Amino acid sequence: MNAKAAAPMKILFLCTGNSCRSQMAEHILHHVGGARFEAHSAGSRPAGFVHPLAIEALHRLQIPILFAESKRWDRYADERFDAVLTLCDSAAKEECPVFPGAPLTVHWGLPDPVYHPGAEDERLEFAVSIARRILSKIEGLIALDWSSDRRQLRKELERLGEI
């Protein structure tokens, strides 16, 4: 008798425009999370494109972009997630859809590379630094014991938001 494989942990990353930080997070988790995780991203007011800074930052970190689409968060309104992580302060302040199953919701505030001042090369270096911070947080996320108590898991996700 074959044991049924555990369903992957579903994680949704939210930013207002779903063009940079949430896109980087989705692709990074997709790349490093393996079959244990299913990554998605969306926004309240999607830009309609993935920002070139996000694409180039991921390229520099050798993270493949297999699919990239700026999506509205109501696309996922009927889906169950294990965690919903907001990455921008404005998205964290907005009223998010109520997702079925009461996922853990945590804010990982990160500055937006799109609005970083400076020349294009400075903005790109900033985007790469944000992508590295997201990678570090996601490496912590995949190392968590997802079967632990929800309060403890929330604390650990919040701690990751502070690094």
Of 15, 25, 28, 131, the catalytic one is 15
In the three-class reduction of DSSP (H, G, I as helix; E, B as strand; rest coil), residue 85 is classed as strand
Q: Is 20 in the active site? A: no
From 47, 68, 96, 144, active-site residue: 96
Catalytic residue among 84, 88, 92, 131: 88
Q: Active site includes 15?
A: yes
88 in active site = yes
Q: Active-site residues: which are they?
A: 15, 88, 96
